Amino acid sequence: TDYILEVKHLKKYFPIKNGPLRNNQGAVKAVDDVSFTIQRGTTMGLVGESGCGKSTTGRTILRLMDKTDGEVLFNGKEVYSLNKKELRNLRTKMQIIFQDPYSSLSPRLPIGEIIGEAVKEHNLVPKEEHEEHLNKIMASCGLQPYHKDRYPHEFSGGQRQRICIARALALDPEFIVCDEPVSALDVSIQAQIINLLEDLQKEYGLTYLFISHDLSVVEHICDTVGVMYLGGLVETGSTEDIFSNPLHPYTKALFSAIPIPDPNAKIERIVLKGSIPSPANPPEGCKFHTRCNQCMEICKTKVPDVKEMGNGHMVKCHLFN
Ligand code: SF4
Ligand code: MG
């Protein structure tokens, strides 16, 4: 299989107080032993409640923050052991787009410069082809090339997200982390941006890690899905398997909250007890045991193994161990 990304036992701990980590005591375990792979040209969704470590996972993969432990292989190469030149190249091949397009756009630059800035910096296209490159990228993103001289505030939220996407796309990336890319947009605009991302994936052969708490968007756009709880992946698999046959009690609870269009369909709403424990002091054993309605004695002390249930469907729960 052609994996563009392989994440192995990735950990990202933050010290609680200022100062260095001492044996990781008292650290916030934002990402705690996360492993998954993404096949080239596909979209993997990362879901889970806010604070579960989705964004930190995305940023650590891109080396926007340092990892604590584990491996991130991009096209077979460990991104944390690249030399300066390789890292520079990686900075164009892996991109990220954020939830709030406005805060990541400089208000003082016309959008042509915003989109083209890093292209020039990395000398990606010859000077005489720069304009043409910009025009093509902007057109691909549904932006009018004659808008190049306008400023971000002159655009709507949806158009600003198009500008951010164009800025990422202009660098000829292979992989884009989309961190809640439509959450801040009007529902009417969301579908347009989702469609744009899908069109660009086909046109440019892109691979996405799509971070979202919106399960219906994830079901629509993702080929595979990973479910995170308290810094760890509890279940991964094809979108079809995860949505039609969720196995982990947390996934079941999370998915039971999706509003379903058919009022006659019977889905029992599972309400989780308690609140999410602090990632600085996660429960022993299965991290979900304090809220699980199927918790057994063993769950309180032993971390469950990850089990393959067929077709790449992985679940981390004692019910399947
Ligand atoms: Fe629930 Fe135990 Fe499975 Fe954890 S391991 S999800 S506590 S049944
Ligand atoms: Mg987030």
**Calpha distance 226→314 (Å, rounded):** 9
Other residues' Cβ atoms within 10 Å of the Cβ of residue 227: 25
Q: Along the 321 residues of the chain, how does pLDDT read in single tens digits?
A: 899 999 999 999 998 765 555 655 668 999 999 999 999 999 999 999 988 999 999 999 999 999 999 999 999 999 999 999 999 999 999 999 998 877 889 999 999 999 999 999 999 999 999 999 999 999 999 999 999 999 999 999 999 999 999 999 999 999 999 999 999 999 999 999 999 999 999 999 999 999 999 999 999 999 999 999 999 999 999 999 999 999 999 999 999 877 666 666 666 788 888 888 988 889 999 999 999 999 999 999 999 999 999 999 999 999 999
Instruction: Please tell me the predicted confidence (pLDDT) of residue 268.
Output: 74
Distance (Å) from CA 300 to ligand 1 centroid = 9
The total number of structural domains in the chain stands at 1
The answer to whether position 275 is within a domain reads no
Instruction: Please tell me the predicted confidence (pLDDT) of residue 287.
Output: 97
Q: Give this complex's ipTM.
A: 0.96
Ligand 1 in reach of 317 Cβ (< 6 A): yes
User: Which ligand has an atom closest to residue 252 CA?
Assistant: 1
The two tokens of residue 133 are 């490159």
Instruction: Please tell me the predicted confidence (pLDDT) of residue 20.
Output: 58
The answer to whether position 307 is within a domain reads no
The answer to whether position 94 is within a domain reads yes
Distance (Å) from CA 62 to ligand 2 centroid = 15
Of the residues 289, 293, 297, 303, which should be mutated to test ligand 1's pocket, given the most ligand atoms within 8 Å of the CB?
289
Global pTM? Answer: 0.94
User: Which ligand has an atom closest to residue 212 CA?
Assistant: 2
Distance (Å) from CA 285 to ligand 1 centroid = 9
Instruction: Please tell me the predicted confidence (pLDDT) of residue 16.
Output: 77
Rounded to the nearest angstrom, the gap between the alpha carbon of residue 200 and the centroid of all alpha carbons in its chain is: 17
**Calpha distance 131→119 (Å, rounded):** 11
The answer to whether position 310 is within a domain reads no
Ligand 1 in reach of 294 Cβ (< 6 A): yes
User: Which ligand has an atom closest to residue 286 CA?
Assistant: 1
- At residue 72, the 3 state secondary structure works out as strand
- Domain with residue 160: its CATH number is 3.40.50.300
Of the residues 235, 290, 296, which should be mutated to test ligand 1's pocket, given the most ligand atoms within 8 Å of the CB?
296
Residues 6+ apart with CB under 8 A from 78: 71, 72
Atom of ligand 1 nearest to the CA of 320: 3
Supply the range of the domain harboring residue 76: 3-234
